[in-house]
Amino acid sequence: MLITLPNLLPAEQVLQCREMLTSATWIDGRASAGHVAAHVKANRQLAQDDPVALQIGALITQALRQHPVFQSAALPARILPPRFNRYEGGEHYGFHIDNSIFRLPAENASQALAPSALTPRLLRSDISTTVFFSDPDDYDGGELIIQDTYGEQRVKLPAGQAVVYPGTSLHQVTPVTRGVRYAAFFWTQSLVRDDTQRSLLLQQDVAIQRLIRDGANPEIISQLTGVYHNLLRQWANP
């Protein structure tokens, strides 16, 4: 399942974030790559404890808490604090699959987006998300290409929008040949590990919301809502 989140961040906030990112201190992105990914990765990133990363990351996680589509689609159990990358001058990231397990920073372990206060220190990367901070006209190249069972998708969204896709996907960022591409990226552990099951739950949730808006019979809505929660109860693994 691949979905986009239009207007995750308002335009004024995006502009402020981009100004902060422009003046930030960037390091070699290979420092955070595994021994395999390091061979195909050429970009720059912010250190995970960089004040700019922490400040903008907090804005993103707050926006996610309030975004109904993300909540319905991801069913987040916990989210790794967002990280940030920068591409320019031909920098790129070749085809790769992200790590399956990440360790939550100690200072953020109890603050991750989780339904309980007892958050484990490890996170399974069920879902990947990229938030764009540069508009498509600001740079050439830099497409996020995602390959999965739904085929190949080429993603290059306006600033302030995000794309959400399975963490199991093979993906790459093509070389940026003009301008600068700024983005945030992070991973979510879902209450429902299986992408097909999450997709079915999202479809049912969307259908229920449409029935509510259309003034459908409350008894029918109640029955469908019961089915949704019983499926969630069966599939969820907090």
pLDDT in tens, 145-181: 999 877 899 999 999 999 999 999 999 999 999 999 9
In the chain, the number of structural domains is: 2
Assign residue 215 the CATH number of its domain: 4.10.860.20
Taking residue 227's Cβ as centre, other Cβ atoms within 10 Å add up to: 11
Residues 137 and 201 in one domain: no
Residues 146 and 204 in one domain: no
Q: What percent of the chain has pLDDT over 90?
A: 85
Residues 106 and 202 in one domain: no
Assign residue 120 the CATH number of its domain: 2.60.120.620
Residues 221 and 172 in one domain: no
**Residue span of the structural domain in which 216 resides:** 195-235
pLDDT at residue 38 greater than cutoff 80? no
Residues 49 and 145 in one domain: yes
**pLDDT at residue number 151:** 85
Average the pLDDT over 215-234 and give the result: 96
Q: What percent of the chain has pLDDT over 70?
A: 92
Rounded to whole angstroms, the maximal C-alpha distance in the chain is 59
Q: Please report which confidence band the pLDDT of residue 52 belongs to, taking 50, 70 and 90 as the band edges.
A: very high
